[in-house]
Structure 1
Amino acid sequence: MKRILFFAVAALLAGNAAAFELTSPDPEVKNGRPMVKAQEYKGFGCNGDNLSPALEWKNPPAGTRSYAVTVFDPDAPTGSGFWHWVVYNIPATATGLPAGAVVVEPLPAGAKQGRNDFGERNFSGACPPVGDRPHHYIFTVHALKVDKITVPDDASAALVGFNIIGNRLGLAKMTTTYSR
């Protein structure tokens, strides 16, 4: 009987643990909702402001030593999706990234940006083909068990992603959409 009670209490406590969560304080950027022109790419036929939305996260897994943030479009007509942003080595003390990261506000000290699929080291906003169905943009914060990921400066988003996944304790996602 004591054993059953112990497991019941343990399950209850585990169920009450707050989930790792990613949100945006920007009123226009919400899970399941379309992004706005500010998050559209500037170039490649698109003429948005190319600004990253503000991101906030809370309740990371115990043992988190750093974070990474990625933005991926699985609907891009490439056969393999499209990486729009890769930021890693974000200190464990961080609880988010500012709107317009790097352009308007700096990244947290020590954070690095990887090369995205536009070949740039910054947030590159949405730029789906005109008339295509709405694309999904998956913003993910990864809680990592290491202080830093070590990759070459010219590492692809896929190589950085491989190192993120190999060191991940948990993740939280927010998916937005965009179409032109």
Structure 2
Amino acid sequence: MPQPPSPYDFLPAVVSFEVRSDDVAEGQVLPMPQVSGIFGAGGEDRSPHLAWSGAPEGTQSYAVTCFDPDAPTGSGFWHWVVFDIPVSCTELASGVGDAEGSGLPEGAQQLRNDAGMYGYLGSAPPPGHGPHRYMFAVHALSVPSLPIDASVSPAICGFNMFGTTLGRALITPVYEQS
């Protein structure tokens, strides 16, 4: 089965900046803490540590997303969306994506993922479906706050980021179940 393209290839080009993680690495297999326990893949649904630097001038806030473009849905699968992260924040500790968002910086909000739950949902691709990419993106935004609340879908958040995204940093680990 051919691999779907990156959804970011279809958005206006923006500046790239740096993102790193103590938990996940580009092209490497997701560790078990970042795999789903809720969906029975044996993990912990623990959001990974992310730290970023070099965001473009004019950045006023950040959003962090995790998207699986390889999910067999026709529209991919949103695993995590956090928005209104203050510009002063350049790091999220491992595990801040719990259902309550208890470790998120003040003002930051989480949306429901595509399973309908707040917080980070780890990977759990269908067994035998092949490797899935988990695109962790840090979006540098030109506005201090998006005009949405935590009741909207990830797609509506993306729509509201369109035109305000100055830069994007990506780290894309993979995972598959045999």
TM-score range, shorter chain: 0.7 to 0.9
| Alignment partners' CA distance in 1, 2:18 and 2:116 | 29
Q: Could you say which residue in structure 2 is the equivalent of 1:24?
A: 21
The equivalent position to 1:146 in structure 2, one of 137, 143, 148, is 143
Q: Could you say which residue in structure 1 is the equivalent of 2:96?
A: 101
Cα distance, 1:105–1:121 mapped onto 2, change above 3 Å: closer
Note the C-alpha offset of 1:170.
0.8
Equivalent pair of 1:33/1:176 in contact (CA under 8 Å): yes
The equivalent position to 1:81 in structure 2, one of 72, 76, 84, is 76
Q: Could you say which residue in structure 2 is the equivalent of 1:67?
A: 62
Q: Could you say which residue in structure 2 is the equivalent of 1:160?
A: 157
Please tell me whether residue 45 in structure 1 is matched to residue 44 in structure 2: no
Q: State the superposition RMSD in angstroms.
A: 1.6
Structure (1 or 2) with the larger CA radius of gyration: 1
Note the C-alpha offset of 1:105.
6.0
Equivalent pair of 1:40/1:126 in contact (CA under 8 Å): yes
| Alignment partners' CA distance in 2, 1:144 and 1:22 | 15
Deviations 1:113-147 (A, max 9, x none): 01110111101110101122110000000000000
Moved over 6 A (4+): none
Q: Could you say which residue in structure 2 is the equivalent of 1:128?
A: 125
Could you list the runs of 5+ residues in structure 1 that have no partner in the other structure? 1-17
Query: 143-152 or 42-51, which moves further after superposition?
Result: 42-51
Q: Could you say which residue in structure 2 is the equivalent of 1:15?
A: none
Could you list the runs of 5+ residues in structure 2 that have no partner in the other structure? 1-14
TM-score for the superposition, normalised by structure 2: 0.86
Equivalent pair of 1:39/1:49 in contact (CA under 8 Å): yes
